[in-house]
Structure formats: C-alpha cells, structure tokens
Amino acid sequence: MLRRVLVANRGEIACRIFRTCRELGIATAAVYSDADAQALHVREADTAVRLAGSAPGETYLRGDLLVRAALAAGADAVHPGYGFLSENAEFARAVLDAGLVWIGPPPAAIEAMAYKTDAKRIMRDAGLTLFDALDPEAVTAGDLPVLVKASAGGGGRGMRVVRELDALPGELKAASAEAESAFGDGRVFVEPYVERGRHVEVQILADGQGGVWTLGTRDCSLQRRHQKVVEEAPAPGLGEALEREMERAAVAAAKAIDYAGAGTVEFLVADGRAYFLEMNTRLQVEHPVTEAVFDIDLVAWQLRVAEGARLPEAPPAPSGRHAIEARLYAEDPARGWAPQAGVLHRFDVPLDGDGIRVDSGYAGGDEIGVHYDPMLAKVVAHGATRAEAARRLAGALERTRIHGPVTNRELLVRSLRHPEFLAGEVHTGFYDRHLDGLTARADDDGMDRCAALAAALADGQGRSRLGVGGWRNLPSALQTKSYRSEPDGAEFEVGYRITRDGIEGHPGVRLVGSEAGRTVLEVDGVRHEFHVVRHGGEERGRGPDRVFVDSSTRAWTFVALPRFADPVEQRAPGSLLAPMPGTVVRVADGLAAGDAVRAGTPLLWLEAMKMEHRIVAPVTGTLTALHAAPGRQVEVGTLLAVVEPDGVSVPGGTAADVSVPDGTAADAPNAATDAAPTDAQEDPV
C-alpha cells in the first residue's frame, strides 16, 4: 500500500494527482523550482521540496534531483504526471533503483515507444496500419507534401512540413539540427503529410498481468501549433466498425510491449482508415473527458496498478454522456498565439450543477511566469449529447471571470459554437481555415461603448462626487475618460454627465445604479449589468492600470489611458520591440548592423514559455542596429533591432513581428504555425 506519493511535475497535473491521493488517504509531496515557490501545487501538497533554479533543464528535467527529493520527503512512490520526464525510461529506472515505486509503465515499454522509427517497426509487426516512411533521396514532386519528423521527437521539435521539393534538403538538415539540440539525437525520417486528417486516440489501461482495457475514443483534432486545444470523448462520427478496429489495434499495441498502467494509442484517421501515429506511455492531458464518459478515476487506477492490483475482466461501460475539454491558455491567438505573462488577479469558473469540471494550476492572485507552458486550466463539460456538452462548456467559459493577461477564452467560445464544430466536422486544419474569423473583432452592437461607459462610471470622478444616479441643475462639462481595449487596441473616449433624464452624451442610456463595482445600465429599455474591477499596475512595475468589465455574456479589458500622455523614451524609426518577455536563443547567422534585409527575413529567435518565436524584419530595408545576443533576457518592449525601410519613414517603435518558426509543435500532421515548444512540459500534441 502506497503511503506518500511525490509528483515529479508541477501545475495543473500535480494538483490533479494530489486530489485523487487525498481521496484515497495517500500523503503527497511536491517539488518546485524557484519560479514556482508560491505556486498552487506547492500550496496543495502535504510537503514540498525545493529544486534550486527556474529553467526546466536545471529543475524538473533533473532526474537525479527528483529522486533525491522523493527520498528526502519520505515518499515511497513517484508519479511523473505528463511532460517533463514522464516518458523517460532512464528516469523510471532511477526511481526503481532507489527502491521507490514507479507509477507508470515498465521502463522497457517506455523505451520501446521512445523512438518513432522503432515504435513504428514494433507496431507494424503487431499488425497495426501505419504510414510507410519515405526515402528522402527518392521523394518526388508527386509525393508532396511530406512531413519531416525527429525519430526521438516530442512537442513538435524537429518537425517540418515540406511542400516544395527544392526545400527538402534544407528542411532535413534543419530538423536534424533541432532534434539533436532538443533530444540529443539528430535522426529524422520522412512520411506522407495529410492536410485534413483527424487526430483520434484510444485510452488504454493495463495491469501488467495480462489485463488490458480500452476506454473508448477521443478526438483531439482542434489544434494550434500542432498542440491540442479542444478534445472530446467519444470521437464523433467514426462508425462502430472503425472504433472496434482502433480498439483492437490499441490492445495489440499494449500487449506487444507488455504494457502496464494508463496509456494512449494515437491514430491519424483519413479516408476511413486509422493509421498508427504513436503511443504515449503516460497519462494524457485530456484524460478528464474519458473519466467523465466512463465514470472512472484514471489516476486512482494508476495507483492501484502500481500497488499490484489486477483489472477486473471487463472495463466499466460508458455512461452515454459526451464530454468536451477546452484548454484555457494565457496567449493571444490573433498575434501568432503569443504567450502572455503577468498577474492573474482573478480566476473564477462558474461550477453550476455537476456538468462542469476545472483542472487548474492557478488561482486568483497567482503570477503567470515566463518559464513554463501558459495553460491556465482545462475546463471540461459533459452532457447527454455532444451539442449539450458544447453549449454547457461555451456558456461556462463565457461566464468565467479572468482578470489578468490576454487569454484564448473568446476563441474557445467561438470554436465551440462554430457550425463546422457543431456538425462534427473536426479536423487538424480547423484553425488554419477559420482562425481569422474566430479572432476577428466582434460586431459592434453598441455594447463595447456601454462597457466602456460602465467602466468610466465606476472608475471616474463623477460618480464619487455626485453619488449613484446623482444629477445637477447647473450644466457642467462632460466627465471624460479614455480607454484602449485589449487585445484589439480599439480606443474609446467616454464623455458623460448624469442627468435626471439619463446620461448626457449617450442617448437611450440610463444609469439604474452603480455601487461596489456593479453598474446597471438601461439601454433602450433593456437592463444590462456590468461588474467593474480596476487593477493598478504601474505602482508595481507591471504596466498600466487595467479595468476589467464582465457582463453575463461578454467580458472586456480596458487600459486606462492618462489624460495627458507622459513623456516616453524616444525610439529610432523602425525600432523592433520585444513582443513578449523571454530569452534570445539565437541570431541569424552572420547578421550585423549595416546588412540589407528583406521583409519576412528571420532576424532572431526568442524563447518564452517553452516556445521558440521567430522575429522577422517587418519591412525591406537596412538593419541599422542590433541589440540582441544569445542568452539575453528581455522584457516586453525591449529594443531588439532597428530596420530602416528603403525610402520609407516609419514613426516610432513597433512590436516586433512574430512569424512562422523553423519547427512546428507536435507530432500530428497539420500546417506549420508560429512557434515550437522547447521543453517537454506540455502534452506533445
């Protein structure tokens, strides 16, 4: 019987494992980097051990330190979570060699699936259908597009989509170099690329004593940067024959490597067939949707299997529910999915009834740092039908109060209500086709200006002097407040004066009441309630004040603009400013001041929140200054370079353009996007 489990991970997954341990009466131990000293998973554990440093390579990726921490904490078992060292056979062996229980599959099973080329050979011998690798020297124009993959890959490192034959040699070389840097193994291979496939997986659970369960399918096709954004169970529209075929293949895969514990067999579904992609020898990020459908706790079963329990002969029957999970990220989808950092002042998801579940590593007041993946939470909804689950999840996200950095919340709500998604027409190219529409500014129905007015009424001088609903007999100048909406940048100058007949400057609008951050406006006879909170930033060195306005169906973030602009540091025309905090990891070979550059030419690469972002020249011209060197830490707005356009005068400094990276971000076929992960914190797809 396990007494204390150390979770060799952080954030959301650590909190989730602790929850089950508490329910089973098992004590818990956390590890934390210096950046995570105040993190939620540290607060929730019974005890915690510090890992000196902040970078993953010196903390969560140090197997020796993790084993030492488990022994120091008095743990008798280690759960690796997902990402980091969860699929590292040497770490699993080190845990076992220290006399600890490893809550995961045998090291030999992990090793068998660690290299994609080896895994494909084993699965082919086990009878699974998969794509044939292509000889890079024999690829023809008729084979295009093709996908270059790192054999030891994960998280999309060492992965390239190639659409032009002349580009293949260079992409092979670049992918190999990136794979060598990321995994210490530069081997790559080439296979056909499917433009609009579906990413479908089967959850398995094995006891290592001959018992293997399959627990239905999951569809994980909605992806950005080849990383999953929305997942659901069961996968819609497969048909019973294909589902049974995939389940048989998953059992064969598990038995071929003597698997034990929870795992996932992943497939690409195209043209009515399921092709083996890879096997994840760990718990998946999206496991909650399977738990909702089967009324099962997969972590509890991981612990039981680790204690030597056998599985009952038959798995539990599905409940008939449909479950959908959305990953809520601190990122700006409209700006190349750029990760965001800062204080999460408030984070409240409405948990109405029993149909909503939230797994998170953050709470209100926590800091979203720059060292790790920017996922705030997984929000899961289930319902009697797929449509009911989608509606419930969209509604919960819409009513969630998030006061802090920009998130992908609006994108998730729109995705869940998109006609193609509701029709079950999901595929890995969904965001390639629809991102512009899903991130476009919402039609202005007048509510944006009403929200700005609500902010001004709750935030301005007029209310405090006049009182709620107050008015004067003598006319006076309009009260004026100015705001900039985030993240779209729209500006609002709100002028108002409260009178007995309404609000001057806003025909048809009447102030019903305003107190303690709650403002009620009547607009053309319809009441709208707004909750307004202002969070100061400048006094803490965190940027300007922001006003967060929430209604029952919408949310706005406004930057309060000063009446008179403060003097700002002058920038040379064409200045490129860092769009996010991060570290300069490399500069284009041979790049120096005085060089001619073309628009779109990569100048340097920033690493932030485990992603690598390529910064490109916004215009064709001359590089007149370069202020970046590998290893330099930069904040938002740091001057990186200056490009003087050919024959064009550019006023002031602008945020650097973030463009498509050299790599993509996972192992499911899809189109390249803006950034590639740089460590193993997140589920690779």
Distances (CA, A) of 653 to 84, 552, 643, 658: 38, 38, 10, 15
The predicted-structure confidence for 484-518, as pLDDT tens digits, reads as follows 999 988 899 999 888 877 788 898 899 998 887 89
The predicted-structure confidence for 56-94, as pLDDT tens digits, reads as follows 999 999 999 999 999 999 999 999 999 999 999 999 999
Residue 75's pLDDT is 98
Of the ranges 247-251, 341-345, 473-477, 560-564, the best mean pLDDT one = 247-251
Query: Mean pLDDT lowest for which of 396-410, 547-561, 562-576?
Result: 562-576
| Coarse DSSP helix, strand, coil percentages of the chain, rounded to the nearest 5 percent | 25, 35, 40
What whole-number distance in Å separates Cα of residue 363 and Cα of residue 10? 14
What whole-number distance in Å separates Cα of residue 535 and Cα of residue 448? 20
AA letter at 640 = L
What whole-number distance in Å separates Cα of residue 454 and Cα of residue 444? 16
Query: Mean pLDDT lowest for which of 5-9, 24-28, 188-192, 616-620?
Result: 616-620
Query: Mean pLDDT lowest for which of 252-266, 308-322, 619-633?
Result: 619-633
The predicted-structure confidence for 384-413, as pLDDT tens digits, reads as follows 999 999 999 999 999 999 999 999 999 999
The predicted-structure confidence for 618-636, as pLDDT tens digits, reads as follows 889 999 988 888 888 787 7
What whole-number distance in Å separates Cα of residue 110 and Cα of residue 281? 6
Average pLDDT over residues 285-294: 98
One DSSP character per residue, 498-538 reads EETTEEETSTTEEEEEEETTEEEEEETTEEEEEEEEEE--G
- 66 versus 462: which is more confidently predicted? 66
Residue 671's pLDDT is 27
Residue 648's pLDDT is 52
Average pLDDT over residues 250-270: 97
Residue 610's pLDDT is 61
Residue 132's pLDDT is 85
Residue 656's pLDDT is 57
Residue 652's pLDDT is 45
Residue 558's pLDDT is 94
The CA-to-CA distance between both ends of the chain, in Å, stands at: 34
Average pLDDT over residues 424-431: 92
Residue 464's pLDDT is 36
Average pLDDT over residues 601-615: 78
Residue 181's pLDDT is 67
Residue 182's pLDDT is 66
DSSP-assigned beta bridge partners for residue 356: 381
Q: How confident is the model at residue 153 (pLDDT cuts 50, 70, 90)?
A: low
Q: Which domains does the chain have, with CATH numbers?
A: 4-103 (3.40.50.20), 198-439 (3.30.470.20), 447-561 (3.30.700), 575-651 (2.40.50.100)
Structure tokens that stand for 535 in this block? 């969070």
Give me the chain's average pLDDT, please: 87
**What are the two backbone dihedrals, phi and then psi, of residue 429, each rounded to the nearest 5 degrees?**
-100, 15
Average pLDDT over residues 236-255: 97
Strand 653-655, strand 575-577: pairing: parallel
Q: Residue 613, SS3? A: strand
Strand 546-550, strand 518-523: pairing: unpaired
DSSP-assigned beta bridge partners for residue 614: 605, 659
Distances (CA, A) of 520 to 413, 470, 547, 644: 25, 14, 16, 50
Residue 657's pLDDT is 53
Residue 86's pLDDT is 96
**What are the two backbone dihedrals, phi and then psi, of residue 19, each rounded to the nearest 5 degrees?**
-60, -45
What whole-number distance in Å separates Cα of residue 474 and Cα of residue 74? 75
Percent of the chain with pLDDT over 90: 63
What whole-number distance in Å separates Cα of residue 246 and Cα of residue 88? 26
The predicted-structure confidence for 328-338, as pLDDT tens digits, reads as follows 999 999 988 98
Q: How confident is the model at residue 221 (pLDDT cuts 50, 70, 90)?
A: very high
The predicted-structure confidence for 648-671, as pLDDT tens digits, reads as follows 544 444 555 554 333 333 333 322
**What are the two backbone dihedrals, phi and then psi, of residue 18, each rounded to the nearest 5 degrees?**
-60, -40
